[in-house]
Amino acid sequence: MQQFIDAAPGIRLWTEQRGARDAAPLLLIMGARASGVAWPEPLVDALAAHHRVIRYDHRDTGRSTWPFEERPYRIPDLADDAIAVLDHLGIDRAHVVGMSLGGMLAQLLLADHPDRLLSATLISTSALSSTPYTRPDGSTVPVAELPGIAPEVLELWARPAGEHGPAAEAARQVEHWRVLAGDRLPFDTGFFRALEQRVIEHTGHHRTSTAHGRANHDGMLRTDRLARNAVPALVICAPADPVFPPPHPQHLAQCVRGASLVEIPGMGHALPPAVLDPLATAILRHTGAATG
């Protein structure tokens, strides 16, 4: 079922629900510049076999309001949008699964709204914490010295998008996914081409927004609150992630009190077919234990 909700004055968000209405709710939060339909259909279906799955378009993506050019907002406002989705749908508490920026938003929910979460799964993201990383040998690494984004990703992000038409834009996005996916699994060009075509059809145009990269990121650290976390949390380690490579996931698991860590072999900063089954298994094992 699809519907629009009013998240804030002048902000409407597209939402979709799938699965049994009486199942435990699970909210999917995608990454920066990504529509909710960027969650692969097989993964959504696998989760919806056990949960009432909700996904939605962030502001400036998909069918939701694109307001940034006239009314800039802060990244934490996107976390407020997630709460607004739950409120509008009458959901008191939900499992939350966030990827990349969505994983950061999920951390904000862990810190600021723990009473609204049944569990959190954090995928391909980094800690909103200033706590140093502790290596297995006991030595520590300041957060500023953790590995940065791979040069090939930065080079791709630095290229101007331009105006090339829908087909060329889809091809550009497929190349983007190729770089993000890492080099440990064969790249499925057809899968990501179909994904991008679905996003363009869903959105109604092929333009992409840079709003999330330009939005104010200040005030996002939640060091102390994450260290006191009491919500069941799972960190997904993507060993081939060129954006937040190891030991970012290990560091995140250290920063979020009580978090467990599961590695998905070969996974990068993308969701290709090869990782969907093990990822769904890890998420469902986690949510099943948390639901009890």
User: Which positions are catalytic?
Assistant: 100, 241, 269
Strands (E) across the chain are located at 2-8, 11-18, 25-29, 52-56, 94-99, 117-123, 133-134, 140-141, 233-237, 260-263
If we measure between CA atoms, which residue out of 142, 188, 196 comes closest to residue 166?
196
Whether 226 contacts 254, CB under 8 Å: no
Q: What are phi and psi of 52, to 5 degrees?
A: -85, 100
CB 123 within 8 A of CB 99: yes
Phi and psi angles of residue 56, each rounded to the nearest 5 degrees, phi first: -155, 165
> CA 252 to CA 236: how far, in whole Å?
10
Q: How far is CA 188 from the centre of its chain?
A: 21
**How far, in Å, CA of 2 to CA of 271, rounded?**
23
